[in-house]
Amino acid sequence: LIAELINTGTELLLGRVQNTHQQWLCRRLADLGHTVSRQTLVADAGPDIQAAVREALGRADVVITTGGLGPTSDDATREMIAQLLGRPLRENAALVGHIQSFFAARKRPMPARTRVQALVPEGALVLPNPHGTACGLALEVAPNPFRPDAKTSWLILLPGPPRELQPMFSDAVVPLLRQGAPPPSAFACRTLRSVGLGESLVEEKIAGALRTSVGSGLEVGYCARPGEVDIRLAARGPGAEQIVREAEQTVRGLIGRHIFGAEEDSLESVIVDLLAQKGRTLALAESCTGGCIAHRITNVPGASAVFLGGMVTYSDQAKIDLLGVSPELLARHGAVSEPTAREMAEGARRRFKAGYALAVTGIAGPAGGTDAKPVGTVFIALASDRPTVVLHPLNPYDRETFKQVTAQQALELLRRILVEAA
Amino acid sequence: LIAELINTGTELLLGRVQNTHQQWLCRRLADLGHTVSRQTLVADAGPDIQAAVREALGRADVVITTGGLGPTSDDATREMIAQLLGRPLRENAALVGHIQSFFAARKRPMPARTRVQALVPEGALVLPNPHGTACGLALEVAPNPFRPDAKTSWLILLPGPPRELQPMFSDAVVPLLRQGAPPPSAFACRTLRSVGLGESLVEEKIAGALRTSVGSGLEVGYCARPGEVDIRLAARGPGAEQIVREAEQTVRGLIGRHIFGAEEDSLESVIVDLLAQKGRTLALAESCTGGCIAHRITNVPGASAVFLGGMVTYSDQAKIDLLGVSPELLARHGAVSEPTAREMAEGARRRFKAGYALAVTGIAGPAGGTDAKPVGTVFIALASDRPTVVLHPLNPYDRETFKQVTAQQALELLRRILVEAA
């Protein structure tokens, strides 16, 4: 099925609130094998909603709207749709009862305005809402006056709050899409996550081989984020699974050492898993990343089994007192130097009695750069029971990107060592 | 001006990536006094991009697209727009130089494909990109063949990565919008940022007074995020500034001690400023927040002037070795306890020789809770030259929200003390 999504909400167009429905619904629809061809966001105003719905019904088999089903004066979707399709609104007695019992269960009086939520356009299916008072609605538009071929479309109205919309989609919309529609075409999608190569270099290395080995059924997409490139492999129709599987093998054959995971994996979750498998522990000594690496590692559930702790040693004195970096060495080479990074890592490993210790020192900027050590200068050291390794990248970015990219490089250094030690 | 936003990206329609541009650009445009009437998301495919741009140019004074300016084969926006408007693409020598020097600065070879980013449609203004290789483009569509009245529209193409798009918008697009356009209608918007009260409690405390003191010209919006509620005060037309100013005074009069800042302020930026004003320093000892507080503090430019460092002491041994927490006390009260939090804070203050030290210990979950100390149990201690203060909130959330909320409470404890010490 071709689907379109229409989000309504003036607060979204004012940029005051994040539109979380778009990603959630698009992902669910894609995974069900449907194609979301367009998403549109319009204000709560009646004409805008009607125009967007009319246009979408002219193109798509399923049109889903979100928001505007509440009880307040800026909730216009129900009425505007009823008007657009010429379906009179009638009060549904069961829904009045649902709303009354909802307030009774919370020992609160039922405001008169909420009764508007019991109005149902003629011929609409009611989608129950166990988590709120606004039911959803599904309308079969047949014949469809907005489509040149008059082909039937479904129009589905969902409420705005995510904890009401999401279960309603799963419990009521998914069965409806299965029932009325032809079986969805097969869809397979695999997102591989890579580190250490730029976006165009990734494509340069894999695109040709994907064309010759996998052929035309494959869609390839790239998404670059700080220190990371996602490679999305997708296919539709018969054999989709097989096409995507072969494409993944091709990519892994070419740049496998840069692929750290797939789908929702993060570099930190992969590392926590690897450390746990090996029964090894980790400590951190962060200067320029300022706790970013520790924060990422401790976002992973179960990190406490492998992560002993870290130090954020911003000042020279802290590097001396807490990590045992020698004052002479600091005076000679400076805090941002290969020997300091090395001593920080080895000091952290000793203090925490850890299997591995990562240390990072550098100049995040915007101030603090010199000709010899410009903003973006970084030293990353990894201490273990083997000789300490030091990397020296240059990351001339804004402060927050600098921290993310540097954390990424440090984590990747550790991941490589863990993988190779296997 | 009436503006429309078109986001391109198949990965967005597949729900694999969050569309962060929509909120950011809508917010900036609204704050500049423009009306964003519609946002549309389409796939990277040429016909979809062309259809969306054609329709938007038929309605809006300014159309902004995001994405599709990169070097890979799924980056189609530049070419599709050039084709739609009949503007031949020509290589811009200065842009070739920019791309070459971008790679040279990072000591990396320039992939041949990146040269496509130097192509500019005839008559387009180039919007420089100091943070990447994809420049932005601005085209004056005059006469405009898609608008019934042929009225001129501007079409602005921005690159997809947020750290490239955002400065480009501020530095190049904002001046452009000011220059060509009639003065925007008066719009005033003030976002106050509060901490320590839930969303409905905030509304309960201020909504009535705002209605009586300020009247009907005011729009009030609320946005809840972990540990924080934003209060948005907006008005349009003559007197907008005055209305918003009075509303702000009313809100501050009622819940002023919960308002930590406005607009882009963060709790951490306010704290770095307060510490710098007072010439005081900060150290951290984090257990359950795992570096989150240090990461937030060190995101603030200039943090190194006041932040001496922190320890992430996940294990008991680290608390003993690094912070001097006594093993007997740990054995008697446990790592998650008031006495441990107190000793962690005092130990960190001593080790770093800091004016203030914050310590946090708790149970982030999902595992590790008991009946006596369920998941979400937290102790937060602040050591200074006055008696150590300990808070004991309960934060039963998912792991990442737990860390953010707990960090927020710890930072708020420090902010209060700094404000009251003034």
Question: CB–CB of B10 and A219 under 8 A?
Answer: yes
Angle (CA) A320-A326-A329 rounded to 5° is 125
Cα B208 from Cα B221, distance rounded (Å): 14
Name every chain A residue with its beta carbon within 8 A of the beta carbon of B297: 290-291
Question: CB–CB of B22 and A19 under 8 A?
Answer: yes
Task: Using CA coordinates, name the residue in chain A closest to B12.
Answer: A23
Kindly state the average pLDDT of the residues A43-72: 92
B225-234 residue pLDDT tens: 777 888 888 8
Q: Residue A357: what pLDDT?
A: 98
pLDDT at A182 over 70: no
Q: Residue B184: what pLDDT?
A: 56
Task: Using CA coordinates, name the residue in chain A closest to B233.
Answer: A16
Cα B415 from Cα B228, distance rounded (Å): 14
pLDDT at B122 over 90: yes
**Partner-chain residue, chosen from A352, A366, A398, that has the shortest CB–CB distance to B318:** A352
The nearest CA of chain B is from the CA of A393 a distance in Å of 9
Three-state SS string over chain B comes to: CEEEEEEECHHHHCCCCCCHHHHHHHHHHHHCCCEEEEEEEECCCHHHHHHHHHHHHCCCCEEEEECCCCCCCCCCHHHHHHHHHCCCEEECHHHHHHHHHHHHHCCCCCCHHHHHHHEEECCCEEECCCCCCCCEEEEEECCCCCCCCCCCEEEEEECCCHHHHHHHHHHHHHHHHHHHCCCCCCEEEEEEEECCCCHHHHHHHHHHHHHHHHCCCCEEEEEEECCEEEEEEEEECCCHHHHHHHHHHHHHHHHHHHEEEECCCCHHHHHHHHHHHHCCCEEEEECCCCCHHHHHHHCCCCHHHCEEEEEEECCHHHHHHHHCCCHHHHHHHCCCCHHHHHHHHHHHHHHHCCCEEEEEEECCCCCCCCCCCCCCEEEEEEECCCCCEEECCECCCCHHHHHHHHHHHHHHHHHHHHHHCC
Name every chain A residue with its beta carbon within 8 A of the beta carbon of B44: 221
Q: Residue B17: what pLDDT?
A: 83
B210: alpha, beta or left? (left if phi > 0; alpha if psi -120 to 50): alpha
Cα B260 from Cα B101, distance rounded (Å): 43
Q: How many CA atoms lie within 13 A of B1 on its CB side?
A: 28
Question: CB–CB of B291 and A312 under 8 A?
Answer: yes
Q: For residue B421, what pLDDT band results from cuts at 50, 70 and 90?
A: confident
Coil, strand or helix: which one is A382?
A: strand
A368-386 residue pLDDT tens: 888 889 889 999 999 999 9
Q: Which percentage of chain A shows pLDDT scores above 90?
A: 64
Name every chain B residue with its beta carbon within 8 A of the beta carbon of A11: 221
Question: CB–CB of A317 and B353 under 8 A?
Answer: yes
Question: CB–CB of B41 and A38 under 8 A?
Answer: yes
Task: Using CA coordinates, name the residue in chain A closest to B27.
Answer: A15
B56-75 residue pLDDT tens: 999 999 999 999 998 888 89
Q: Residue B362: what pLDDT?
A: 95
The nearest CA of chain B is from the CA of A72 a distance in Å of 14
pLDDT at A420 over 90: no
**Partner-chain residue, chosen from A24, A204, A403, that has the shortest CB–CB distance to B15:** A24
Q: Indicate the helix (H) or strand (E) that contains A231.
A: strand A228-236
Q: Residue A181: what pLDDT?
A: 56
Question: CB–CB of A15 and B25 under 8 A?
Answer: yes
Distances (CA, A) of A20 to A143, A295, B53, B166: 33, 24, 24, 21
The nearest CA of chain A is from the CA of B87 a distance in Å of 26
pLDDT at B4 over 90: yes
Q: Which percentage of chain B shows pLDDT scores above 90?
A: 65
Name every chain B residue with its beta carbon within 8 A of the beta carbon of A43: 37
Q: Residue A77: what pLDDT?
A: 94
Cα A335 from Cα A280, distance rounded (Å): 29
Query: Chain A to chain B, count of Cβ pairs less than 8 Å apart?
Result: 284
Cα B333 from Cα B322, distance rounded (Å): 19
Name every chain B residue with its beta carbon within 8 A of the beta carbon of A198: 108, 111
The nearest CA of chain A is from the CA of B412 a distance in Å of 19
Cα A77 from Cα A8, distance rounded (Å): 8
Name every chain A residue with its beta carbon within 8 A of the beta carbon of B36: 13-15
Question: CB–CB of A23 and B18 under 8 A?
Answer: yes
Helices (H), A106-219: 162-168, 174-180, 199-214
Angle (CA) B303-B307-B310 rounded to 5° is 125
B83-107 residue pLDDT tens: 999 999 999 999 999 999 988 887 7
Name every chain B residue with its beta carbon within 8 A of the beta carbon of A230: 11, 16-17
Question: CB–CB of B15 and A38 under 8 A?
Answer: no
Name every chain B residue with its beta carbon within 8 A of the beta carbon of A303: 290, 314
The nearest CA of chain B is from the CA of A84 a distance in Å of 19
> Which backbone phi and psi does B296 adopt, to 5 degrees?
-65, -45
The nearest CA of chain A is from the CA of B368 a distance in Å of 10
Per mean pLDDT, which range of A128-132, A206-210, A382-386 is the poorest? A128-132
The nearest CA of chain A is from the CA of B228 a distance in Å of 14
Interface test with B, best of A6, A200, A204 (most B CBs within 10 A): A200
Q: Residue A4: what pLDDT?
A: 98
Interface test with B, best of A6, A31, A39, A197 (most B CBs within 10 A): A39
Q: Which percentage of chain A shows pLDDT scores above 70?
A: 98
Q: Kindly report the pTM of this predicted structure.
A: 0.74
Task: Using CA coordinates, name the residue in chain A closest to B323.
Answer: A322
Name every chain A residue with its beta carbon within 8 A of the beta carbon of B74: 220-222
Q: Residue B147: what pLDDT?
A: 94
Name every chain A residue with its beta carbon within 8 A of the beta carbon of B29: 15
Cα B265 from Cα B192, distance rounded (Å): 9
Query: Taking all residues of chain B, what is their mean pLDDT, rounded to a whole number?
Result: 91
Query: Taking all residues of chain A, what is their mean pLDDT, rounded to a whole number?
Result: 91
A75-92 residue pLDDT tens: 889 999 999 999 999 999
Q: Which percentage of chain B shows pLDDT scores above 70?
A: 97
Name every chain A residue with its beta carbon within 8 A of the beta carbon of B352: 315, 318, 321
A270-326 residue pLDDT tens: 999 999 999 999 999 999 999 999 999 999 988 989 999 999 998 899 899 989 999
By the 10 Å C-beta count (0-12 exposed, 13-18 middle, 19+ buried), A396 is classed as middle
Mean pLDDT comparison of A155-164, A407-416, B11-20, highest-scoring range: A407-416
Higher pLDDT, A188 or B348: B348
